[in-house]
Amino acid sequence: MDRATRILLKGIAMPEIKLHTAPDAPNPPGPFSHASSVGEWVFSSGMGGLDPKTGQVVSDDVIEQTEQAITNTEHILAAAGCTLQDVAKVVLYLTDMQDYPRVNAVYEKRFAPHKPARTCVAVSGLPVRERMKLDTVAIRRK
C-alpha cells in the first residue's frame, strides 16, 4: 500500500458492529445475537414462531407461527431502533411451499402498506418444529 492510500485510509472511520438483544423475543437457540447493526443498517437473525417464555414453537399451525415470528421480529427491530416499516429486505424460509399462501396472507397484513423486497425459499427443515422463519435487513431512519 502506498503512502497516499495509507493517509487516506487513516482518515476514514470504520463503522462499529453493534449487537442487539430484545428482552421480549425468545432467546437465540445458539451462539448468536438477535440482530447486529453497522451504521444505520440492521440485520436480524432468523426468527420463527417461538414463544418468548418457553422458547418452543407456539403451535403447529403455520398461521400462528407466522404471526408470532413477525411479532418476535418487531421486538428485535425495536431493540435496534427500527420498525417493520424500516425493513428493506426479508428472506422467508418455509419447510412446505404449500404453506406459502397462508404465510403470505399474514405477512401482507402485518407489513402493510409496506412492501419490502423479499425472497422465499423452501428448506428441508428448521429447528424445534418450525414451519417457517424469516430474517430482515432494515435501516434506521433519522
CATH number at residue 55: 3.30.1330.40
Residue 10 located in a structural domain = no
On the question of pLDDT at 142 being above 90, the answer is no
Residue 104 lies in a domain: yes
Q: How far is CA 122 from CA 36, 47, 99, 114, in A?
A: 25, 16, 10, 24
Domain extent at residue 109: 16-139
pLDDT score of 109 more than 80:
yes
Cβ atoms within 10 Å of 18's Cβ, excluding its own = 13
Instruction: Tally the domains of the chain.
Output: 1
Is residue 98's pLDDT more than 80?
Answer: yes
Identify whether 74 is part of a domain: yes
Assign 98 to helix, strand or coil.
helix
Do the Cβ atoms of 28 and 48 come closer than 8 Å? Answer: no
Amino acid 111 reads: F
The interaxial angle of helices 62-79 and 100-111, nearest 10 deg, is 40
Mean pLDDT of 90-117: 98
Is 24 within a domain?
yes
For the chain, percent of residues with pLDDT exceeding 90: 83
In a domain, 11, yes or no: no
CA distances from 67 to 5, 11, 32 (A): 50, 46, 23
pLDDT surpassing 70 at residue 126: yes
Query: Average pLDDT of the chain?
Result: 94
The answer for 81, left when phi > 0, alpha when psi is -120 to 50, beta otherwise, is: left
Q: Convert the pLDDT of each residue in 66-91 to its tens digit.
A: 999 999 999 999 999 999 999 999 99
pLDDT of residue 118: 98
Is 41 inside a domain boundary? yes
54-67: average pLDDT: 98
